[in-house]
């Protein structure tokens, strides 16, 4: 271990970290998967979804926004925390309109994959069936607000990577919505299908037209391995 690196323990596993890393980043590098939805490796953390909630030295904290520190004791994979995460995922399902069977993002969707990984079957609350808009005005990109989980990845990517600042939020609480920063609809913006804002959406809310269902069932991102398996594959076996 270099002089500047330090170590913490996550579910009893020693995790080496570098200064400036969040707990989530340190765990990713060490092959310990912490569930997340709003975090993206190319974007600064936002702390919106709270799916990455852990117990850090006995206190609840988001792993994506909490800096790793020497000697920290983190609990991540406990039945209570996993149930809390499952409840958050269930809330996202009931607050939107998710028809996975008919969604072109099925099998490649982080929300769906997380539901499977956390053992979600039926949400514990009734569906709200909100009325949401589908914006198909742009020649190459659509926004289906039914599927938006308000993670803000597109907002961050549009501002920081595309240099366009095309998106924001409006409203509060259950009425909060993604808004297009333009007079009118998506076709009034400078959005391009190749923009990072389109690429980073974890669900099927922002999508590129004429690309649906190209990957056959069985070959989609989460058909073979659960979400987080790529991170866990980095883990070195514990030495005796
Ligand atoms: S966005 Fe994901 S969770 Fe929502 S309908 Fe599509 S596949 Fe299902
Ligand atoms: S459109 Fe996608 S990336 Fe943007 S806030 Fe909604 S779910 Fe997140
Ligand atoms: S991943 Fe940490 S709050 Fe969303």
Please tell me if the CB atom of residue 40 comes closer than 6 angstroms to any atom of ligand 2: no
**Cβ distance 23 to 34 under 8 Å?**
yes
Residue 177's CB is within 10 A of a number of other CB atoms, namely 14
Q: Are residues 22 and 67 in the same domain?
A: yes
Residue 20's CATH number:
3.10.20.740
Domain boundary among 77, 101, 116: 77
Q: How far is the CA of 183 from the centre of ligand 3 (A)?
A: 31
Query: For ligand 1, atom 8, which residue shows the shortest CA distance?
Result: 100
Give the per-residue pLDDT at 116. Answer: 98
| pLDDT tens per residue across span 5-61 | 999 999 999 999 999 999 999 999 999 999 999 999 999 999 999 999 999 999 999
Q: How far is the CA of 236 from the centre of ligand 2 (A)?
A: 34
**Distance (Å, rounded) from C-alpha 35 to C-alpha 19?**
22
Whether 237 shows a pLDDT value over 90: the answer reads no
Which residue is it, tokens 């549009």? Answer: 158
DSSP state of 19: T
Q: Is 158 helix (H, G, I), strand (E, B) or coil?
A: helix
Residue 171's CATH number:
3.30.70.20
> Where does residue 68 rank: exposed (0-12), middle (13-18), buried (19+ CB within 10 A)?
buried
Query: For ligand 1, atom 7, which residue shows the shortest CA distance?
Result: 106
Residue 156 lies in a domain: yes
Whether 2 shows a pLDDT value over 60: the answer reads no
Tokens (6 digits) for 63: 């792993």
Q: How far is the CA of 33 from the centre of ligand 3 (A)?
A: 13
Q: Are residues 114 and 143 in the same domain?
A: yes
Please tell me if the CB atom of residue 48 comes closer than 6 angstroms to any atom of ligand 3: yes
Q: How far is the CA of 35 from the centre of ligand 2 (A)?
A: 17
Domain boundaries, position 196: 88-224
Conformational region of residue 210, where left means phi above 0, alpha means psi within -120 to 50, and beta covers everything else: left
Residue 113 lies in a domain: yes
| pLDDT tens per residue across span 148-169 | 999 999 999 999 999 999 999 9
The number of domains in the chain is 2
Q: What is the number of the ligand 3 atom nearest to the C-alpha of 35?
A: 1
């Amino acid at each position: 271990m270099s002089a500047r690196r330090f170590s913490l323990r996550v579910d009893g596993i020693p995790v080496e970290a570098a200064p400036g890393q969040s707990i989530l980043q340190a765990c990713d590098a060490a092959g310990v998967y912490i569930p997340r939805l709003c975090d993206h490796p190319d974007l600064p953390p936002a702390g919106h979804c709270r799916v990455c909630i852990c117990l850090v030295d006995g206190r609840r904290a988001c792993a994506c926004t909490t800096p790793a520190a020497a000697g920290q004791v983190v609990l991540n994979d406990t039945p209570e925390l996993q149930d809390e995460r499952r409840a958050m995922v269930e809330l996202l399902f009931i607050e939107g309109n998710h028809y996975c069977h008919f969604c072109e993002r099925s099998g490649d969707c982080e929300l769906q994959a997380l539901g499977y990984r956390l053992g979600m079957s039926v949400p514990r609350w009734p569906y709200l069936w909100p009325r949401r808009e589908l914006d198909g005005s742009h020649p190459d990109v659509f926004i289906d607000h039914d599927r938006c989980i308000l993670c803000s990845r597109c907002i961050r990517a549009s501002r920081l990577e595309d240099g366009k600042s095309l998106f924001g939020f409006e409203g509060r609480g259950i009425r909060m919505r993604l808004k297009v920063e333009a007079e009118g609809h998506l076709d009034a913006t400078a959005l391009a299908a190749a923009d990072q804002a389109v690429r980073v959406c974890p669900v099927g809310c922002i999508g590129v037209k004429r690309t649906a269902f190209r990957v056959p069932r069985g070959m989609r991102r989460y058909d073979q391995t659960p979400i987080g398996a790529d991170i866990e594959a980095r883990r070195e076996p514990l030495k005796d």
